[in-house]
Amino acid sequence: MQRKTSAISAMVATAAVAGLALTAPAQAADLVDYKVVDDWTIPESLTGQPGDPVNGKVVAIDRKLGNCLSCHKMPIPEEQFHGETGPSLWGVGNRYEPEHLRLRIVDSKVINPETMMPAFYRVEGLHMVKDGFEDQPILTAQQVEDVVAYLMTLTEEEPQTN
């Protein structure tokens, strides 16, 4: 599936490849182009930049950004209250490659249309979005890459509790 490239997104993508950081919250037109393969992976980095796992962890925890802990248990003992509506993400770096995780985060619904997990990098097809959040993805392209890099560090399996 090839997303439509607008002139602006191509420019932004080029800017990102050139190493310019996108600091402002992403606007609709900012969505970089990406290619989904077999409804299962996005092989190429969205930004051409390596993800920063340290920032990825911050993004995953932040309730206004990834807020992954609302639904997932993660190896982050310093944070209280991990959700349980999604599977545990302990050891997820052993189970997947970055290209799988990238699609999960960009748009889980490509893999499972019924899923509860939000698409973190998609703006079309949404309904009744609150003022100020329309046409904005939840995460920027670089934040997606950072979260992917962080998830790849999660290789420890969950200790058995009993």
Contact between 147 and 88 under an 8 Å Cβ cutoff? The reply is no
- CA–CA distance, 112 with 70 (Å, rounded to integer): 19
Binding mask 59-98 for ligand HEC (x = CB under 6 A): -x-----xxx-xxx------------xxx-x--x--x---
Residue 7: name its binding partner from other proteins, ligand HEC, none (Cβ under 5 to 8 Å by kind): none
Q: Residue 88 CB, nearest distance to ligand HEC (Å)?
A: 8
Q: Residue 10 CB, nearest distance to ligand HEC (Å)?
A: 26
Which amino acid, residue 149? A
Contact between 6 and 29 under an 8 Å Cβ cutoff? The reply is yes
Q: Mapping DSSP to helix (H, G, I), strand (E, B) and coil, where does residue 157 land?
A: coil
Which residues form the interface with other proteins (CB under 8 A)? 67, 69-71, 80-85, 116, 118-119, 126-131, 133, 136, 138
